């Protein structure tokens, strides 16, 4: 936790300002990130949040210590027979037989 005193600034989209990150508990910094809800084929947009939050997780571990950061991420697996895809997206468009 030696570098934590330098602080971390994050952009708050609600206030439209860069704010200093102050964890509730510096000895147990927690991240809960909603992962992708996959409706169709993977694309670059699915990777962006995973990369951004992985970088943030690594930075927090540098600042607060490897054993002081908890990172939880969910991945929603939507069954196309239960939940219809968003309008305009075909859940079965030319998908290989092995993926059906």
Per-residue pLDDT tens digits for 41-51:
778 888 888 89
How is 7-56 classified by DSSP, letter by letter? --EEEETTTTEEEE---S-TTSEEEEEEEEEE-SS--HHHHHHHHHHHHH
Distances (CA, A) of 37 to 13, 74, 80, 98: 22, 9, 12, 21
Tell me the domain boundaries of the chain: 4-11+25-99
Digit-by-digit pLDDT tens for the chain (100 residues) are 445 556 899 999 999 999 999 999 999 999 999 877 766 777 888 888 889 999 999 999 999 999 999 999 887 766 655 666 666 655 555 444 444 4
Residue 76's closest CA among 39, 47, 42?
A: 39
| Model pLDDT for residues 61-76, shown as the tens digit of each residue | 999 999 999 999 887 7
């Amino acid at each position: 936790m030696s570098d934590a005193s330098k602080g971390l600034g994050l952009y708050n989209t609600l206030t439209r300002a860069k704010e200093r990150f102050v964890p509730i508990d510096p000895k147990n910094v927690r991240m809960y990130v909603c992962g992708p809800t996959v409706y169709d084929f993977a694309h670059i947009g699915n990777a962006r949040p995973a990369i951004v939050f992985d970088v943030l997780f690594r930075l927090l571990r540098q600042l607060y210590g490897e054993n002081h950061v908890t990172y939880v991420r969910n991945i929603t697996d939507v069954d196309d027979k239960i939940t219809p895809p968003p309008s305009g997206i075909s859940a079965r468009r030319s998908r290989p037989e092995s993926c059906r």
